[in-house]
């Protein structure tokens, strides 16, 4: 059982002992700390906070705890109920709110939940903001409102519809062309709020939808992370229904993956590549993804005359870099699309609309579209270290050995070789070094990872 505290929120497993898990006491403590921060940041006695949640089983309990704690802090709450992460993100500025909290553990299994914390732009907190909340929670340094100053709650059940309309209104989304295409899709909503939002978007675009696991009960029918090994039922259903493609999202609808008409993975890494290909064909500009994302985005960006920039891992880091280089699109290789013309947050609904627009423009099958992109394969492994090992010193030794290569050190060490790359970064929660590789074949990617595992083990022995 686990409780993970970070600048972007608190995530943990339900039940167990306080401070070891996400218990009611922990939910109240961190909601109190956020309430203190939002009052100080806004300078308001009664700031407004938007709250929404995914459909996981513990969601109603955690929302009640968090919501009533904020009321006790004197905050006024806008309750979106069952919602998605990007929906809450767009609702914060739309409501002129001072912040927002999304109750979701994203792709984690059902025993997990989390408080994801937003600022008044509907964006994740940066390191300075997040640290203030962690410090307040650790010190239990907060003061509750007196009875006449308690906050209020207003309920809104229309924000998913508002979100969908905003997607339809985006300049580059080819609504009429999509309606004319006659697409048939299978949607796996993993029995969370994607089962509400994704079919509704597809129907608004005139797309025929076969719903698979779209009942938002929170009883996930499979591991909710949208990876190949979890999507056998969706792959099978696409073929059985002779659908044009399949769509799947994680429980809070900020990650997106597609299945080809042949029942094969389009590739989670290639969700962003395809959407960027479409936008860059319309608007010249730059792109950003994190260091552990596929080189294919770089290749597509250069093809369109733009500049690709890598950011440190983490959505807040990608957003910051996108703003710095004025990127027209960006995101993460885990299927996260960030399109600034909508908002600075990963948004599967935006990704679906851009992907469908690309298909109508190119007039190809999804498998043909995938074949048109550079083909890369990724490996993800790790090296277990003895607790207390100097991880930073070990990574510094790796850096020194490869000074003649193309190095990036903003987040661990990334080494770009001519036809492949390796990214080494330490875990924030375990004594391990994560190893991400990419090459022209799966065998080469695995061999590169194994090579660096061996090198790291030798270096670690020198520090023992």
357 contact partners, CB below 8 Å, separation of at least 6: 172, 173, 174, 177, 178, 278
Residues assigned a catalytic role? 106
Q: Is 127 helix (H, G, I), strand (E, B) or coil?
A: helix
Q: How far apart are CA 461 and CA 439, in angstroms?
A: 28
Q: What are phi and psi of 126, to 5 degrees?
A: -85, 180
Q: Which residues pair with 415 in a beta bridge?
A: 407, 422
Give one word for 103, left, alpha or beta, with left for phi > 0 and alpha for psi -120 to 50: beta
Q: CB-side exposure of 310: number of CA atoms within 13 Å?
A: 24
Q: Do residues 32 and 73 make contact, with C-beta atoms less than 8 angstroms apart?
A: yes
CB-CB contact of 133 with 123 (8 Å): no
Residues with Cβ within 8 Å of residue 367, at least 6 apart in sequence: 260, 261, 262, 264
Tell me phi and psi for residue 84, to 5 degrees.
-125, 160
Cβ contact 352:256 at 8 Å: yes
Q: How far apart are CA 271 and CA 374, in angstroms?
A: 13
Measured CA to CA, the distance from residue 169 to residue 331 in angstroms comes to: 21
């Amino acid at each position: 059982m686990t409780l993970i505290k970070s600048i972007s929120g608190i995530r943990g497993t339900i039940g167990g002992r306080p401070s070891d898990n996400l218990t009611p006491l922990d939910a109240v403590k961190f909601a109190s700390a956020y309430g203190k921060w939002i009052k100080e940041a806004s300078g308001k006695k009664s700031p407004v906070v938007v709250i929404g949640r995914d459909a996981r089983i513990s969601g109603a309990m955690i929302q009640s705890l968090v919501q009533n704690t904020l009321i006790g802090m004197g905050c006024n709450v806008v309750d979106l109920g069952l919602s998605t992460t990007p929906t809450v993100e767009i609702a914060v500025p739309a409501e002129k709110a001072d912040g927002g909290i999304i109750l979701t553990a994203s792709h984690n299994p059902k025993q997990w939940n989390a408080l994801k914390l937003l600022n008044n732009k509907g964006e994740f907190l940066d390191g300075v903001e997040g640290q203030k909340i962690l410090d307040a929670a650790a010190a239990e340094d907060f003061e509750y409102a007196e009875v006449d100053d308690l906050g209020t709650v207003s309920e809104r059940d229309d924000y998913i519809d508002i979100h969908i309309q905003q997607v339809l209104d985006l300049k580059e989304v080819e609504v009429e062309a999509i309606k004319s295409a006659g697409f048939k899709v299978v949607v796996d909503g993993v029995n969370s709020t994607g089962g509400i939002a994704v079919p509704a978007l597809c129907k608004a675009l005139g797309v025929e939808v076969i719903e698979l696991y779209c009942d938002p009960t929170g009883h996930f029918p499979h591991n909710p992370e949208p990876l190949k090994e979890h999507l056998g039922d969706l792959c099978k259903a696409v073929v059985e229904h002779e659908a044009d493609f399949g769509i799947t999202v994680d429980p809070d609808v900020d990650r997106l993956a597609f299945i080809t008409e042949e029942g094969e993975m389009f590739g989670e890494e290639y969700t962003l590549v395809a959407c960027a290909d479409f936008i860059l064909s319309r608007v010249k500009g730059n792109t950003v993804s994190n260091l552990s994302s596929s080189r294919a985005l770089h290749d597509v960006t250069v093809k369109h005359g733009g500049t690709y920039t890598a950011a440190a891992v983490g959505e807040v880091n990608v957003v910051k870099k996108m703003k710095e280089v004025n990127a027209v699109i960006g995101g993460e290789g885990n299927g996260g699309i960030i399109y600034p013309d909508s908002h600075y947050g990963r948004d599967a609904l935006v990704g679906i609309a851009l992907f469908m627009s690309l298909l109508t423009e190119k007039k190809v099958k999804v498998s043909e579209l995938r074949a048109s992109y550079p083909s890369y394969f990724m490996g993800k492994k790790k090296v277990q270290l003895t607790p207390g090992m100097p991880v930073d010193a070990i990574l510094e030794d790796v850096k020194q050995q490869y000074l003649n290569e193309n190095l990036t050190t903003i987040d661990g060490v990334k080494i770009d070789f001519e036809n492949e790359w390796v990214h080494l970064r330490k875990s924030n929660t375990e004594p391990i070094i994560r190893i991400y590789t990419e090459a022209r074949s799966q065998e080469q990617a695995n061999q590169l990872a194994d090579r660096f595992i061996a090198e790291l083990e030798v270096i670690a022995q020198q520090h023992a």
